[in-house]
Structures are given as C-alpha cells and as structure tokens.
Chains A and B, each alone.
Chain A
Amino acid sequence: MARPRSSSPHTHSPRSTQWLMLQVLVATVPGLIVLTRLFGIGTLLNILIASVTAIVCEAAILKLRKRPIGFYLRDYSALVTAVLLGLALPPLAPWWLTVTGTAFAIIIAKHLYGGMGYNPFNPAMIGYVVLLISFPLQMSAWLAPAGLLTDGPPAAAPDFMTSLQIVFMGNSIDGFTAATPLDAFKHNSGLLVAQFYEQTPQFAQGHWAGFGWEWVNIAFLLGGIYLLARKVFTWHAPVGMLAGLSVMALFNYDGGSSTSHGSILFHLLSGATMFGAFFIVTDPVTSATSHRGRFIYGVMIGVIVFLIRSWGNYPDALAFAVLLMNFAAPFIDYYTPPRTYGHSKSGTIIHRSKED
C-alpha cells in the first residue's frame, strides 16, 4: 500500500498566523476602551468603517488576483491593518477619509506589492501618511478629551447621533476640537515648561504628559505587555524605539526652558508613542529580521520620532519615522545577521557572500 509521504517535522505547534493576528486585535482593546471613554464612539466608527472597507478591498483584489478569497481573508491581516488605521485616525473623521486611507493601504500599499508578507511598507502607516498629506485639516481635528476643563463647561464626548452626523453627514466638528498635548507643546512660545504646564489646561489637568492622552498611552502599553507575554513578538523593536526616544529626550532636555523639547515622560506618554512602539514598530513584515536588527530598527524610529516632533513641521511623527525605517530595514538586515553556531563572527551578509 502506497502511503502518503510528508516531509518532517510531522508535528506542529498550535500557533497560527490567525492566532497571532487575533492576539494583536485583542491587545488593542484597552487602548480602544480609553479612546472611546475620552472621545466617544468616533474611534469605534473609524474601526468599523475601516474594517468593512478593508475586507471589501481585500476580497476584491484577491478576486482580481485569482486567489482563494476565504483562505486569505481568514488570516485577519486586512482586519489588523484596518483596526490599526482606525485607531490612528482622529475620532469622528469623516467616513470618506477613513475609506480612502484604508483602501489605499490595502490596495496600493499591500496588494500592489504582492500582498500579505510582501509589502515593504507598513500599510496602515502608508494610509495614514497619504491622508495626513492630502487632508491635513481633517487629520488634525482631534476632539477635546472628555472631562477636560477649558474656559467653558467641561468638554464632553459628542453623543451617538451627533457622532454619526459628523462622520456621515459632514456636520462640523469644530465645537468639539482641541489641540492635542503634542500640538499645544509645539506651539508654546516663550514660556518655561513649568509655566506652560500651569497655563495650558491639557497639561494642568493631567498627571505626567497631558490630560487623557497619558491614559491612552498607558492603555496601549498594557496591550503591548500582553503581546510580549504571549510571545507574539520579542522586546527588541518596541524597547528599542522607546529607548531611542528616551535617550534623545534625555540628551536634549534642558531642565524645562522656554525652548525645551520636552521631558522623557512627556515624549513616552504623548501622541502615538506606545501605540507605535507595540502595534506599528512590531509589524514583522516591514521591520528588520534579526533581534539585533529589530533593536536598531526600533531605536532609529524612536530617534526620528523625536527629531520630527522637536524640529519638524508635524506635531507627531510616528508614521513618517516608521516608513523611513521600513526603507532601511533590508539595509539593516545586511549588517545584523546573528552569529551562526560554529562561526566565530557574525559578519555581514555582504561580506559573507564575498568570502564564499
């Protein structure tokens, strides 16, 4: 009797790509809860719109590419892209903004490069940057976190109907917006940091790095720790990024003068720092491959984030930093292969080739 012959190994770990993707989705939950608590259902709407768009685009492209649709949809990678982009967009962004960004991410950034596993750039960040450059007004319209006391009554998240109207009917969002702490800090002119913190409600009412936003970052940090504990990724890239950012902040910290670039804590708990460190920088497809490589990749992202935050035109810089380092990932790979068992040096891939 002829028996089927498969190649060894004949046993397999139960972890699958779907499982990994689901873990990432699960880990976004704390961040999502805090965002919703602060800004209402805007982020949920973003995620919903983005997810539907992503699945439709993915299915359409798979059909065009004559690939099994169900098989690829079940890897949840499109969903992860959609959720990450939905989290990154300002809550209550108009629906077409989300649709445009997601469609661009899935169709152009992912499938035109060969689909799952072949994209050199992080699709969610490509979608984000395309929107940021094309629609800067909508992309900078962040809501005031619920509970923030400004001149009038305390800010409250728009209710359900208002949210729907803003997203789908194009109603004005102006009454609800406020500068994010990063934005506010960037526009500090002439005040010492301590004075500035006192005078600006975003900081005066916060604990470490701006009212509301510090909790967003802490929530994403928790999600990241969960992923680390489940060994979905190693610590190298996220810790690298946080270290790069911290070291830059440390070296540029001047004790809080009027031209200060902000403290370490400010940078770590502001904007997209934690979200980026644990959900964007850790995207394995577009990062370097070895542990050393991933650490360097992370550090460089942290450094670039600081540079753009401090001297660039944008208040935050995660998407740009990630995309720039996506370019550099293959280059890093050439110089950071691990030392193979039985070899005295790790060398570089290029030099190894020349030796052979």
Chain B
Amino acid sequence: MSKIWDIHGGIHPAENKQQSLTGPLQAVSLPDSLILPLSQHIGVPASPVVSVGDKVLKGQLIAAAKGFVSAPVHAPSSGIISAIEERAVPHVSGMQAPCIVIETDGHDRWIEHSAIADYRKQTAAELVAIIRDAGITGLGGAGFPSAVKLQPQQAIDTLIINATECEPYITADDQLMRQRSADILIGIDILAHILGDPERVLIGIEDNKPEAQEALAKALADKSANRHGPVIDVVEFPTKYPSGGEKQLIQILTGKEVPSGKLPADLGIVCQNIGTTYAIYRAICHGEPLISRITTVTGKACNKPGNFEVLIGTPVAHLLEQAGFDDTLCPQLVMGGPMMGFALPSTAVPVVKATNCLLATTAEETPALPPAQACIRCGHCADVCPANLLPQQLYWHAQSRNYERLEAHHLGDCIECGACSYVCPSNIPLVQYYRAAKGEIRLINEEKQQSDRARIRFERHQARIEQEERDKAAKREARKLAAEAAKAKRETDAKTVSTDTKNASAEKGTSDLDVVQAAMARVAANKASPQDQRKRFERAIETTAARLAKAEQALEALMKDAKTDCTKEQLAQRDQQRASVEQARLRHQEAKNKLAALDADQASEQETEPALKANRSDDPALDRAATAIARAQKNAAEQALMSPQQKLQQLRDTLEKRLSKAQARLAQAKSEDSDQLEAFGNAVAILNEKIKAADLELAAFDQSRPPANKQTEKSEETQ
C-alpha cells in the first residue's frame, strides 16, 4: 500500500452513484443517424476526408487530424454520409459547429482492421502513431488528444492512472473497471511500454468503489495475463471531491504539486484516465479506433438509469430514450457531472468522445438555486478550495473587475471545480464569476499583445522618421559649411586673381579640384544612407527569418511537450507561441516588403526627371550630383587638352549654364518654401563668384571682351 497525501479543502457532496450501478453495462440500439462533430477534442478541428453521398464502413476514417494537437474522427457504424454541415454540438452556449452526419445502414459492417500481435515488440513511436490515428482523446472529460501526452521530452518515472471518478452520479469508469479490468491492465501495460516502463505505475481510486478495486486486484493477481511491464499498484484513498483533478490526484499519490504554469511531465509524471487506457487497449490489441464509449445516464428523470456502451455521435435524445427519460420531469439536462458538467441546450446534440455522463435530474434532486445573497466572507469557500485560493477575495475583485488583484490572488490557478460555489451559504455563483473574469483577462491580454505590437511598430516608424530628419539636417549643415568654406576660398582666390591672374589660374584649378573632392565626399556620405538602409533591411530580414525559425521550433517543442488532460495553461502557452510565430512571420514579411519598397523607390527615382523630384527627397538629388561630378571630371579631362583661353571660355559657359539652372532651382525652392532654399542660394552665390572670377581671367586674356555678368547682377538683386 503506497503512502497517500491529503489535498487542501475538498467537499463531500451526496454521491448518488448507486442509481446507475444497479444493472449491467447496456448496449444501445443503433440510431438512424450519427452526428460527428469535427472538434471533439482540445486542439485544431479535424478536416473531413469524405464527401456527402460517400458510403463509409464502421471504423473508417472520415475526418483527418490537422496539425499536432488534433484528433481524427472515424465512422462509428456503416452507412452513407448524408451531410457535412453545422449542427448543434454539446457546448454550454448552444452553438453550432461543423459535423459529419452518417445515415446508418443497419449492417454495422466493419472496415478491415488489424490488431498488433505483440505490442512489446513495437517501438513507442509506432504505438503512439496507432493511438493518434485511432482518434483517442482523454475520456475523463477534458478531451485532450492522448498521443500528445504520450510523447514527453522529460524522463517519466511515474505513470498515474486516474480511476478516481470523484464527481457525484457518474459511474462509467466504475462500471468499466468492474467488467473489463483485464483489458484495462493491458492498456496500462501498453502505456507503460510507450513511456519506457516508468518506475511506478499507480492506479488512483477512491474508497467508494470497492467492487471496481476488487476486480482490478483480481485481474492483477491473474498470472496468466500477458503483461510484462512494471508492477501496477492500486492506491485507494478517501473519497473527496475533487480528488480526480489531475493536479489533485498527483498531490494525493505523490505529495508533489505541479508548479503553476508547468506540466505533470516536468515532475516526471504522466496521468491518463482509466477509460482512455481501455480505448488504447482496443486500438492496439483490436485495431479499433475510438468509436464508442461508456456513458452514465442517470438522475430521477430516467426510470432505467445505468451505464451504456454508446456509439460516439449517437443523438442524446436516442440515448436518453434507452434509459427511460421523462422530459417533463427534467428541468435541466446536464452533460457531465453535477459539479463541472454543463447544461445542455437541447437533446439533439450528439454524444461525443468526452461525454462521461448525462445527468437528468428532477427539480427535487437539484432544486433551482435561490437568489444570491451578500457575501459575508464566512471563508467556507477558502476552506474547501483545492488550490488553496481565497475565493471570496477573488469574488470581490471579479465584481469590481480588478484584474491586477485577481492575478495577484492567482485566479489562473483556479481549476473551476465548483467546490466554493457548492458550499457558499449565500448561493453566490462564484465559479461563474471566475470564468467570466478569466475570459475577460484573456481578451485583455490578447488586446494588450496586439496593441503592444502596434505600439512598437509605431515607435520604430517614428524613430525611422526622426532619424531621416536628423540625417537631412546634418547633410544640410554639412552643405552649408562646405558652401561657406568654398565661398571664403573663392573670395581669397578672387583677390589673388586680381593681382596675379596666372597664379590665379593655377590656384583655381586646385581649388576647383578641392570643391569637386568635397562634393564627392559629400555625395559618398549621402549615398551611404540608402545603402545603409538596404543593409539594415537585409539584416532585418535575416534576423526575422532566424527568429521565425526559432519560434516555430519552440512551438513544435511545446506541441511535443503536451501530455495532460488539464491543459488550459498549456493551451494558453501554445496559443501564445503560435501568436509569436505569427508575429515573427509578420515581421519577416514586413522587412521583406520594406526592402522591396526601397528597391522600387530607387528604380523609380532613376527613371524620373531629376528636376521634378528636386525637393521630394535627398537621394535623387544626390544621384544627380554624382552624375554632375562625373561630367565635371570628364570635362576637366577634356579641358586639359585645350588652350588656357579656350578652357576659361568653356568654364565660363558651363558656369553660366549652371547658374541659370541654379537660379531656376532657387526660384522653385522659393515658391515651394523648401528647406533647401539656403543651399540653392549659396550655390547661386558661388556660381556668381566663379563667373566673376572667370570673367576677370578672360579679361586678362582678351581685353576687348565685354563683361557678361548682367545676368549675375540680376540674380544677385533677386537674392
């Protein structure tokens, strides 16, 4: 007998289990139609692989799993696919969801299927693949795909089989254990083999199921059974709700607590429901996918309560009929147990993989709750909370929507077992408050993530614009300084020229060269900016690609990690990871787009007439400057072959051309009030100086030549 630990809190509601344990396990007649929701599990809905009108056989795949956390759906009986459409599904909201509807043909003919002769000779991966392809999900209620839980990355030393069934009324697992204990033990042996034969295999069972325990003990004692794995230990503990919660059961059997936000696998523990082990046995040793389950139908509104082996997809109304259900007696029909089940909006919904109970109680059995009174902080809720929370504090903060405080009181660790609501003397529907608050917090977090993303994008955009502005200002400043320096030089040059023209000519050559060099340096500096931009974008593409790959890896790892029934945190984690993959992908795309935009920009600029774009951006002006410089250099080379007078004449002509162009630009800049006004003004002034100097020089060569600076004077006036 293993040591057991106690959990905090817990309650002892009336068990009401005897009603459904009077008779044997019953078969259910074949319904005319079977309705199979594509999403009967936690994760991505399956996608149909049949179409309307197709004939299907029992056990045939009709919807395939989509993605890692998903489960396929199989035809529970032979017949014809009559519809693939939205139907009411078992959900508290009464919502509709895509379903495959099969009109049964009454033959119940199996598709060809084969059993594994000796599972101990198969690898874990092969067995897990069979379990996944059989569409097996946790049958305890949460419906998490079982295969996902059987691929832990951590080493597993403890396999826990949950045979607690702590909810009142439900006896499906009890009945299963009583009647099929040998098969269950084989299922457990398969699990042990898959998990590398963990040190301990524990079946946790409450002390209110002595018959089931006896049946298990008998099957364990049977030496002829074909089992080779580790010793299976049946651990009995006192009945208390909610001992069957995964976290609670782990605490009872091992004394360990699953850390908040972590998985049982992080403690080296895998937990599976006992019903699931039977389904796994059927899948491996008979080759049958999950197409039926045992469901308890009970409550005083049924005159023949009991446990039924029912095909998945059977309409609830059909199953209730078998149990002698009287609709007029039943104000509220619940799927699941009285503590955590949900009220069914209609009896047209089908039985799904997670349906462990249909609870049809009379008004006497479950009287409507009187209106809630004020909370008197009696603290009974805190006394029974298995997570050791302060439910009444959570209630106050949920009422005032103080989400920060709710999180400080660890709302996220609430398992919604309902013990607090059960004991509340003021009849406050506490769990409903927590569900609503959790939903709101989830929404707020999603919105916050989105707005954070938008904010970061906006901030980066702002930063880019500011950087561009700063770059522009710096360029302007540099140009202004260069222009002033050139002007000063020109003035001294002009003075020298007036005294010694020959020297002046030589000096002018060098000063021209200086100007050209300075301009080239400027251009090079300016040119660097788009190149830098391009480099930056390319770098961004690289890093975002790397990030995307990393995020995808992490997501995959998470998917592999998955292995619990209670997977809310895990799911949230996975959703988050998925979101970050999406974000990384977006960023990657954004970076690519930016690069493409830059390329397109540059291409279009090269095509456009420079004059038109003079004020639009710096970059085209820089390009023009570069070509101008190239031209100037070419001209300089030609000039070298000319006579000094010719040279001077040509220089002057060119200068005049440039001057007129510069004046045109200046005028345009003035009319548009451009920030380049000053630069253009400087340019005109410089050109005027140059022309003056050239004129002087020319005059030195040819005294008769009349001064040709009327234009220049005019332009000076305009300044």
**A313 is an interface residue with CB less than 8 A from chain B:** no
Q: B343 contacts A10, CB within 8 Å? A: yes
Closest to A294 in B: B379
B550: min CB distance to chain A, Å: 26
Residues facing A in B313-346 (CB within 8 A) are 327, 331-334, 336, 338-346
B327 CB contacts on chain A under 8 angstroms = 1
Q: B377 contacts A284, CB within 8 Å? A: yes
A290 CB contacts on chain B under 8 angstroms = 379, 382, 390
Stretch at the interface among A101-109, A127-135, A259-267, A337-345: A337-345
Give chain A's interface residue range (CB within 8 Å of chain B). Answer: 35 or more
Residues facing B in A304-344 (CB within 8 A) are 333, 337-344
A258: min CB distance to chain B, Å: 45
CA distance A10 to B427 in the complex (A): 11
B392: min CB distance to chain A, Å: 6
Choose among A5, A75, A289 the residue that contacts B379 (Cβ–Cβ < 8 A). Answer: A289
Most chain B CB within a 10 A radius of its CB, from A17, A234, A341, A353: A341
Tell whether A3 pairs with B387 under 8 Å between CB atoms, given A10-B338, A289-B379: no
CA distance A115 to B393 in the complex (A): 18
A16 CB contacts on chain B under 8 angstroms = 370, 425-427
CA distance A4 to B363 in the complex (A): 12
**B600 is an interface residue with CB less than 8 A from chain A:** no
Closest to B420 in A: A9
Q: A9 contacts B388, CB within 8 Å? A: no
Choose among B11, B371, B375, B405 the residue that contacts A349 (Cβ–Cβ < 8 A). Answer: B405
**B307 is an interface residue with CB less than 8 A from chain A:** no
CA distance A15 to B378 in the complex (A): 12
Q: A117 contacts B431, CB within 8 Å? A: no
**B268 is an interface residue with CB less than 8 A from chain A:** no
Q: B374 contacts A116, CB within 8 Å? A: yes
Residues facing A in B369-424 (CB within 8 A) are 369-371, 373-380, 382-383, 386-390, 392-393, 404-405, 407-410, 413, 416, 418, 421-423
**A189 is an interface residue with CB less than 8 A from chain B:** no
Tell whether A13 pairs with B422 under 8 Å between CB atoms, given A6-B332, A75-B373: yes
Q: A8 contacts B431, CB within 8 Å? A: yes
CA distance A340 to B94 in the complex (A): 34
Q: A10 contacts B374, CB within 8 Å? A: no
**B453 is an interface residue with CB less than 8 A from chain A:** no
Tell whether A1 pairs with B346 under 8 Å between CB atoms, given A9-B431, A75-B373: yes
A341 CB contacts on chain B under 8 angstroms = 8, 247, 251, 257, 260, 386-388, 413
**B182 is an interface residue with CB less than 8 A from chain A:** no
A337 CB contacts on chain B under 8 angstroms = 390, 393, 409
Q: B366 contacts A338, CB within 8 Å? A: no
Q: A9 contacts B425, CB within 8 Å? A: no
CA distance A1 to B343 in the complex (A): 13
B332: min CB distance to chain A, Å: 6
Choose among A3, A9, A71, A232 the residue that contacts B344 (Cβ–Cβ < 8 A). Answer: A3
- Is chain B's interface secondary structure helix, strand, loop, or mixed overall? loop
B388 CB contacts on chain A under 8 angstroms = 338-341
**B707 is an interface residue with CB less than 8 A from chain A:** no
A49: min CB distance to chain B, Å: 25
Q: A4 contacts B331, CB within 8 Å? A: yes
A5 CB contacts on chain B under 8 angstroms = 92, 94, 332, 342-343, 345
B404 CB contacts on chain A under 8 angstroms = 353, 356
**B553 is an interface residue with CB less than 8 A from chain A:** no
Q: A285 contacts B377, CB within 8 Å? A: yes
Choose among A2, A233, A349 the residue that contacts B378 (Cβ–Cβ < 8 A). Answer: A233
CA distance A290 to B378 in the complex (A): 10
**A187 is an interface residue with CB less than 8 A from chain B:** no
A66 CB contacts on chain B under 8 angstroms = none
CA distance A284 to B251 in the complex (A): 30
Most chain A CB within a 10 A radius of its CB, from B371, B404, B408, B427: B408
B332 CB contacts on chain A under 8 angstroms = 3-6, 10
B366 CB contacts on chain A under 8 angstroms = 10-11
CA distance A234 to B384 in the complex (A): 12
Tell whether A17 pairs with B376 under 8 Å between CB atoms, given A3-B343, A8-B339: yes
A343 CB contacts on chain B under 8 angstroms = 259-260, 410, 413
Residues facing A in B90-110 (CB within 8 A) are 92, 94
CA distance A10 to B339 in the complex (A): 6
Choose among A12, A77, A233, A284 the residue that contacts B422 (Cβ–Cβ < 8 A). Answer: A12
Tell whether A7 pairs with B392 under 8 Å between CB atoms, given A1-B346, A349-B408: no
A347: min CB distance to chain B, Å: 9
**B535 is an interface residue with CB less than 8 A from chain A:** no
**B631 is an interface residue with CB less than 8 A from chain A:** no
A255: min CB distance to chain B, Å: 41
Q: A15 contacts B423, CB within 8 Å? A: yes
CA distance A352 to B402 in the complex (A): 14
Tell whether A11 pairs with B426 under 8 Å between CB atoms, given A3-B346, A115-B374, A285-B376: no
Q: A13 contacts B393, CB within 8 Å? A: no
Q: A284 contacts B331, CB within 8 Å? A: no
Q: A284 contacts B379, CB within 8 Å? A: yes
Closest to B413 in A: A340
Q: B382 contacts A289, CB within 8 Å? A: yes
B287 CB contacts on chain A under 8 angstroms = none
Tell whether A8 pairs with B374 under 8 Å between CB atoms, given A17-B425, A338-B388, A353-B404: no
Tell whether A342 pairs with B382 under 8 Å between CB atoms, given A6-B343, A12-B369, A117-B375: no
Closest to B258 in A: A342
**B188 is an interface residue with CB less than 8 A from chain A:** no
Choose among A117, A234, A353 the residue that contacts B374 (Cβ–Cβ < 8 A). Answer: A117
24 contacts between A and B (CB under 8 A): A1-B327, A1-B347, A3-B331, A3-B345, A5-B94, A5-B342, A7-B429, A8-B334, A8-B416, A8-B431, A11-B168, A11-B339, A11-B366, A20-B376, A20-B425, A116-B376, A117-B426, A284-B378, A340-B389, A341-B8, A341-B251, A342-B260, A344-B259, A349-B408
Q: A8-B339, A353-B405 are in contact. List 10 more A-B contacts (CB 8 A).
A: A3-B345, A6-B368, A8-B342, A9-B338, A9-B418, A10-B334, A284-B377, A337-B390, A338-B389, A340-B413
A residues sitting closer than 8 Å to B (CB atoms) are 1-13, 15-17, 19-20, 71, 75, 77, 115-118, 232-234, 284-285, 287, 289-291, 294, 333, 337-344, 349-350, 352-353, 356
B residues sitting closer than 8 Å to A (CB atoms) are 8, 11, 13-14, 92, 94, 168, 247, 251, 257-262, 327, 331-334, 336, 338-347, 359, 361, 366, 368-371, 373-380, 382-383, 386-390, 392-393, 404-405, 407-410, 413, 416, 418, 421-423, 425-427, 429, 431-432, 435
